[in-house]
Amino acid sequence: MKVVKTINEVKNIVNDWKKQGLSIGFIPTMGYLHEGHGSLIIKARENSKVVVSIFVNPMQFGPAEDLDKYPRDLEKDSKYCEELGVDLIFNPEPEEMYPEGFCTSVNMSVLSEELCGLSRPVHFTGVCTVVNKLLNIVNPDKAYFGEKDAQQLAIIRRMVKDLNMDVEIVGCPIIREEDGLAKSSRNTYLNSEERRAALVLSKSIFAGKKMVEEGCREVDVLLKKMKDIIEREPLARIDYLKVVDAMTMQQVNTIDRPVLVAMAVYLGNVRLIDNFSFIPE
Give the closest residue to 36 by CA, choosing from 170, 150, 173, 153. 173
Give the closest residue to 266 by CA, choosing from 204, 178, 197. 197
Amino acid in position 193: E
Q: How far is the CB of 29 from ligand PAF (least distance, A)?
A: 5
Q: Does 147 participate in binding ligand PAF (rule CB under 6 A)?
A: no
Q: Does 267 participate in binding ligand PAF (rule CB under 6 A)?
A: no
Stretch that binds ligand PAF, among 26-34, 61-69, 187-195, 196-204 (CB under 6 A): 26-34
Out of 127, 211, 212, 264, the only residue in the binding site for ligand PAF (CB under 6 A) is 127
Out of 130, 138, 154, 205, the only residue in the binding site for ligand PAF (CB under 6 A) is 130
Q: Does 169 participate in binding ligand PAF (rule CB under 6 A)?
A: no
Q: How far is the CB of 25 from ligand PAF (least distance, A)?
A: 15
List, in sequence order, every residue forming a beta bridge with 26; answer none if it has no partner.
51, 143
Distance between CA atoms of 126 and 139, rounded to whole angstroms?
Answer: 19
Distance between CA atoms of 112 and 152, rounded to whole angstroms?
Answer: 8
Distance between CA atoms of 201 and 182, rounded to whole angstroms?
Answer: 9
Which residues within the stretch 179-208 sit at the binding site for ligand PAF (CB under 6 A)? none
Give the closest residue to 279 by CA, choosing from 259, 265, 253, 250. 259
Which residues within the stretch 40-79 sit at the binding site for ligand PAF (CB under 6 A)? 57, 60
Closer to ligand PAF by Cβ: residue 30 or 261: 30
Q: Does 28 participate in binding ligand PAF (rule CB under 6 A)?
A: yes
Q: Does 131 participate in binding ligand PAF (rule CB under 6 A)?
A: yes
Q: Is 37 a catalytic residue?
A: yes
What is the side-by-side strand order in the sheet with 24-29? 2-4, 88-90, 49-54, 24-29, 142-146, 168-172
Catalytic-labelled residue, pool 10, 24, 31, 37 = 37
Residues at the site binding ligand PAF, with contacts judged by CB under 6 A: 28-30, 57, 60, 127, 130-131, 149, 152
**Active-site residue set:** 37
